[in-house]
A = this chain, B = another copy of it.
Amino acid sequence: MGNLDTVFASLREAQKALALVSRKEKDEGLRAVMKAIDADRQAILTANRLDVERARASGMKEALVDRLALNDKRINEMIDGIDVVIRQDDPIGRVLDGWTLPNGLFIEKITVPLGTAAIIYESRPNVTVDAFCLAYKAGCAILLRGSSAALESNRALVTTMKRALAEVNRFPDAVALADSGSRDEVDEILTARGQVDVVIPRGGRDLIRRVVDNARVPVIETGEGNCHIYVEPSADFESALAIVENAKIQKPGACNAVETLLVHRDAAHQFIPLLAKRLAGRVLLRCCDRSRAILAGAKDLPAALKVEAAAEADWETEYLDYILAIKVVDTLDEAISHINRYGTKHSEAILTNNLASSQEFERRVDAACVYTNASIRFTDGGQFGFGAELGISTQKFHARGPMGLEALTTIKYRVRGTGQIRE
């Protein structure tokens, strides 16, 4: 017997019941959780302060401490996220298709809950609430395995959520926190065939790698984002400058930040110096030989501009930092080939005013989200209108891109007859 066996069993029992209730009952549970998080705000913030103090004492980088820290605004965002999920249609019981066979059998394809999901994630406590509310609305149980750095915050949040569900008698056992902090616990989750229907690792490359290598249950890989923006000569350069700046600087640690800029040779001489001026002092540029030569020959560049030579490794790197790789390409085809070779199939953009180029880019780039003339920072469940997200799938299997309610559903065929037998 593993340590989580009783947890798995109670998740499954709660899920079987939750799978059958109407939207009204699920929304009542979510509304109770929403109110309870608001009411328990101080206790949650106090618990979070403990995590933050410990993290600082242990020398955690401030950028990571920032991901961990809660404040009133972030609690409000959690609450708003639940509210958006409440307002969404029930993803369960939808008839996706239906037809009658020549023999009179009537077949319907309907959505049903996937079952029990487990999420293994790093420090951000909002994931605790997002994952719970999506799973709950989709009739799924959820096992939360947060990082030890967020242990007090997660305990406070899960205690509040479970108490709220218990008070309105709406399946408190449909959510559980795996909080032993041991690696064995993760292995137990990854091998829980028949108990866990999907594991979603949400975090850095190493975490995802370890999960994929050890899992015997289905996995949805998330979040690795080596994303590109490709600029054509016909693009509106003012808009393009704003988009590249936004995609690089607004949140460089996010998976949907841009890492490599590709510029068509006919745009390069004008666009790259403009961009260098815009980003000087804020972003280090790692340039291919041609873009470096352009910058070396450009006039009036700010003294604060830092430029280094790019190596092959730069094309493969998700910096998650104030660094941007730049490469000049000769053709749209070269840009697409570069992206399909080095990209992680996350979010890719073309900035152009050429319709044929936009269409070819959309068709040939193999990624969850392909953009024309917008910042790739929009790849996000909240931005897409899903209210919350379980993560951003970078795989093609089962779910792709920002994962909302639908990623936690599967289908069932309902077949009704009048005595048909097979000839």
Q: A212-B216, A383-B422, A395-B218 are in contact. Are A413 and B370 (CB under 8 A)?
A: yes
Query: Assuming A197-B397, A412-B367, is B417 touching A99 (CB within 8 A)?
Result: no
In the assembled complex, A354 has its CB within 8 A of some CB on chain B? no
A32 CB → nearest B CB, Å: 25
Nearest neighbor of A102 in chain B, beta-carbon distance: B385
Return 25 A-B CB contacts under 8 Å, by A number: A101-B378, A101-B383, A101-B384, A101-B385, A107-B384, A114-B397, A197-B397, A198-B397, A213-B216, A218-B218, A218-B397, A242-B419, A242-B421, A246-B422, A369-B412, A370-B412, A370-B414, A370-B415, A373-B416, A374-B418, A375-B422, A377-B421, A378-B422, A379-B413, A383-B422
Contact of A385 among B99, B398, B401, B417 (CB under 8 A): B99
Count of residues in A whose CB is under 8 Å from the partner chain: 59
For A20, the closest partner residue in chain B by CB is: B363
Give the residues from 230 to 247 in chain A that come closer than 8 angstroms, CB to CB, to chain B.
Answer: 236, 239, 242-243, 245-247
Question: A411 at interface (Cβ–Cβ under 8 A)?
Answer: yes
Say yes or no: A414 contacts B362, CB within 8 Å.
Answer: yes
Quick check: B413 and A401 within 8 Å, CB to CB? yes
Residue A176 CB within 8 A of the other chain:
no
Whether, in the assembled complex, A326 has its beta carbon less than 8 Å from a beta carbon of chain B, the answer is: no
Interface string of A301-325 (1 = CB under 8 A from B): 0000000000000000000000000
Measured CB to CB, the nearest residue on chain B to A374 is B417
Interface members, chain A 24-79 (any B CB < 8 Å): none
Q: Is A6 an interface residue (CB 8 A)?
A: no
